[in-house]
Amino acid sequence: MKYRYLGNSGLKISEICYGNWLTHGSQIENETAIKCVHAALDAGITSFDTADVYANTAAETVLGEALEGHRRESLEIFTKVYGRTGPGGPNDSGLSRKHILEAINGSLKRLRTDHVDLYQAHRYDTETPLEETMQAFADVVRAGKALYIGVSEWTADQLRAGHALAAELGVQLVSNQPQYSMLWRVIEDEVVPASEELGISQVVWSPMAQGVLSGKYLPGAPLPEGSRATDPNGGANMVKRFLNDETLTRVAALRPIADELGITQAQLALAWVLQNRNVACAIVGASRPEQLAHNVAASGVEIPAELLTRIDEALGSIVERDPARTLLDGPTKRPT
C-alpha cells in the first residue's frame, strides 16, 4: 500500500480507502461487513470513509464495531454531515450550526471514538450562510472532535469561498470528495485546478463508475445476477446511466490495455484515478472480503503515458467532462 498526504497537511492516508456507502447496514449482513473491514486492514488500508446518512446512521455503527480494538492512532476515520438522519425533522439535515454540532456527537458515539480525522460537508447547503457552517466546523476542530475538515461535491467557487473562511478561522480545509472516474471527469477543468491552488486533495468516490469499469457488464448481455445494477437499494439508479451498448462496448476495449499492464480492468480503473496527483485516495467498497486484496493491488501501479492516451482514444466521446455537472447535480435545498 502506498500513502499520500491529504491536501496541504501532514496527514497521510492510504491510496485505497475503504468506504461503506451502499454496503454496511443495508446491502450485506453485519458479520460480512465486519469481515470486509478486517480484510481491508489486513490488506494495508488505514483510511475508512463513511457518513451519518448511510443506512440512516447504521453504517457508522457497523464501522465503529468493526474497528473497535484496533489501534486508533493507526487509522484515519472520515465521516460526513448534511443528509437527512433520524425521523427527518426540520433540523435533521443541512449544515446549520445546530445540525453540525449535534451530528458530530452522534457520529462519534456510533463510531466509538472521541474524534474523527476528517469531518466533511457531504454537500453544499444553499439554505445556511457559509459563515455559519464554517464557524461550526471550526468549533468542532477546536473541541478536538475532528482533526481536519473537508467537503464533498463542491464547485470550484464554493471551494474557494469555504477555504478562505476556514483560513480566517484558523482551521484546515484539506479535501473535496467528488465522483471521479475514467467515465466521469467533470472535476478536471475547474475543481482540480482550484484545489491545487488551495492545497486541497480529492478523495474520490465511484472510481470504477459503479462497477461498470470492472468489465462485468457486457454489451447485449443480461445484467449479472446480484450485481449493483439489479439492486434498487444498492445503486441501480446511479449505474443505469452507464448501462448502454456504446459505453459498455468502449469499456470492453480497455481489457487489452489492462492485460498489457498485467492487471484487471478494475485495478486499471483505480490506478487511472491515482495517476492524477491531486487525488489523495480512491474509495472502494466491498461485499466480499476477498475483494479488498484485489483492489489494493492497484496502489502504486504506474500507467505509461502512451497507455493513458489509448484509454482516452478507447473511451472517446462517452466521457462526461462538463464542469457544470457538479452544480447541476447538487441539491438546491436540504433533503426532507
286 vs 320: CA distance, rounded Å: 26
The answer to whether 54 is a known catalytic residue is yes
Residue from 17, 76, 13, 24 nearest 53 by CA: 24
Instruction: Identify the active-site residue in 18, 54, 82, 148.
Output: 54
The CA-CA-CA angle for residues 118, 123, 129, to 5°, reads 100
Alpha-carbon distance values, 240 to 223, 227, 228, 300, 315 (Å):
11, 12, 10, 31, 18
Tell whether the torsion through CA atoms of 279, 280, 286 and 292 is positive or negative: positive
Catalytically annotated residues: 54
